[in-house]
Each structure stands twice: as structure tokens, then as C-alpha cells.
Homo-oligomer: A and B are copies of this chain.
Amino acid sequence: METVKIGLLGLGNIGTGTYKTLEMNKVQITKATGLNLEISKILEKDTTRERDITVCQEQFTQDPDEIFKDPEIDIVIELLGGVEPATTFMLEAMKNKKSVVTANKAAVAANFQKLTDTAKANHVEFRYEASVGGGIPIINALTTVLQANEFVEVQGIVNGTTNYILTQMTEFGLKYEDVLKKSQELGFAESDPTADVEGIDVANKLSILISIMFNTYIAPKDIPTQGISNIKQQDIEAAKVEDSKIKLIAYAHKEGDKLEYSVKPMLLKNSHPLASVSNEFNAVYVTGNAVGELMFYGKGAGPLPTGSAVMGDVLEIAKKIYNK
């Protein structure tokens, strides 16, 4: 059986979840692909942290070129987060004829065209399923089996932290500040929660969805964006009176040549399938002119759900490279 060697950039929470997904499902993955997948080199400073996976010290490197210049490595997984150096590393990997998989929404949203063009120019694959909706296989669906559609609309709940806060405010009548504080204590919200609560993270994901669905690039900073930090208990109560819920929605709609888009808290009737998406769950509601309305629902974050999406991308690339 052929061995596919993989380089991993970053062994934080998501990197560890990805490594663990491969480790615990090795038999299934080998059966599905007919290939032996192996993460052979890992770029990571923290080589001693307790991680609940089996990694040898020899796998670690501090020099990204040891991955990019390794002729045995076919695929590079980028899980550093942030726009730089992640983007530079991904481009460098592609120029060295490595296919790239990432979960990094900030980098993909900021450099969508450059990353996809560079992959094309170097005849390598570039996949980013985990960048929107974590484990939910939305990107692959939009770019493969739904391609016979003209897309009309997307509405997405694509940030778990804000959906958790809104759900807790709705179900238990709690104040925004109190839920945020509790979420931070539980490690569920960042100590600086700005990117989540102000909708910046959602804007990154919406930018990626718009690129794919409408073949148009809108930079995240050009998407009108409003977060949830101003939502008061009285807004939640007013929504209840109208048999509705407030959700932070990534929205885009195309009519003719006109594309509208926004990130903002919206009122959804309780009968809408998105209204019952609670706590840390994510969902993307898509309308295509042939398929009609579709919803994809699942865990939008977490090491293993994200690891599932990252490894799914890796498997697809490996099967393509080795003709399986």
C-alpha cells in the first residue's frame, strides 16, 4: 500500500484534533482510501505539551522549509490561524507542489483569489472545508454536487460563541454581559471576544461563502457587519412576543446582477429551521434555483469536528493524487 506523507503546520487544539482523528480512525481511513496516511512532520514550537496523542520528538521541526522542501510530502495542513504567516506558508507550500488543506477562515477570506490562483498555477489542490461551519461539509457540497444550481441565497449561523450567548439569553433570560463572562470562564469564549461578538469571524466566513456561491469576491471588511454586543434582554423579549428568535446571521442574496450581503442580528420566526439551531451548533441555509432550500447543521467548532473536516479534505486530495 502506498504511504501518503503529510506536513502539519501547528499542533494546537485543532491540530491535535486533526492528528487524533487520523490516529483513532486509521483503520476506517485506510479502508476508505486504500492508502496509508501519515503525518510525518509537524511545525510547532511547543513540543512538550500533554496532548493525548502519540507524537515522536523527531516529527517536530522549527523550520517550515523542512516541510516545504521535503520531496516525500504531498500535502500540507495549515492550522496556525491568523492571516500571517499562514498565507505566506500556504503559498510557499503550493509553489513547492504541495496540495494545501486549511481550517483558517481569516487567511482564506483575506486572500481567496491569490490562494486559489496559486494552487491552480502549480497544479495542486487547495481545500478549506473546515474554514466555514467546522465539521459541517458545506464547502464540498457547494463546490461539487450542488454545482448544477444557480444560488439565490445563503443564511448562516456560523459562529458558535455568539449562538451560545444568544441561546442562553433566550432560554434563561440572562443578560449579555453575564453569559459572556460565564462563557469566558468555561473557556468557550476568548478572553478578548471581539472577533466573535462583533461579527468579524462571521464576516470572514460569509466572504468565503460568497466567493464560492456567487463567484464574486467581497473582502470581509467591505461586508456591513454588526455583532451582538448591543443586544439587550428587552430585544430578546420583543422577539418572543413575535414568536421569533434573534440570531446572528451571515446573509447574502442575489437577484439578477444585484448581490446584497450583511452580517447582523436578525429576527427569525420560530418555525424557520434555523431558529431551532441552539447553543454551539452551526447551520447554513442555502437556496438554489433547482434544489430549492437546503440546510446543513452540525458542530461549527471543536477539535474533533474540525479535525473531521480537515482529514476529509486530506483524504479527497490523497485519493485524487493516487488515483483511488
Contact = CB atoms under 8 A, between A and B. Distances in A.
8 contacts: A141-B141, A145-B315, A145-B316, A291-B299, A291-B305, A291-B308, A296-B296, A297-B297
Given A297-B273, A298-B291, A309 B145 contact: yes
Interface of A: 17, 21-22, 24-25, 28-29, 31-33, 129, 135-137, 140-141, 144-150, 215, 271, 273, 276-277, 288-299, 302, 304-305, 307-309, 311-316
Given A21-B290, A273-B297, A298-B293, A312 B150 contact: no
Nearest to A130: B145
Contacts of A140: 140-141, 144-145
Contact of A25 (B150, B215, B296, B307): B150
B312 A148 contact: yes
Lowest 6 CB-CB distances: which A-B pairs, in order?
Answer: A145-B312, A148-B311, A290-B308, A291-B308, A294-B298, A295-B297
Nearest to A31: B215
B297 A292 contact: no
Contacts of A315: 144-145, 147-148
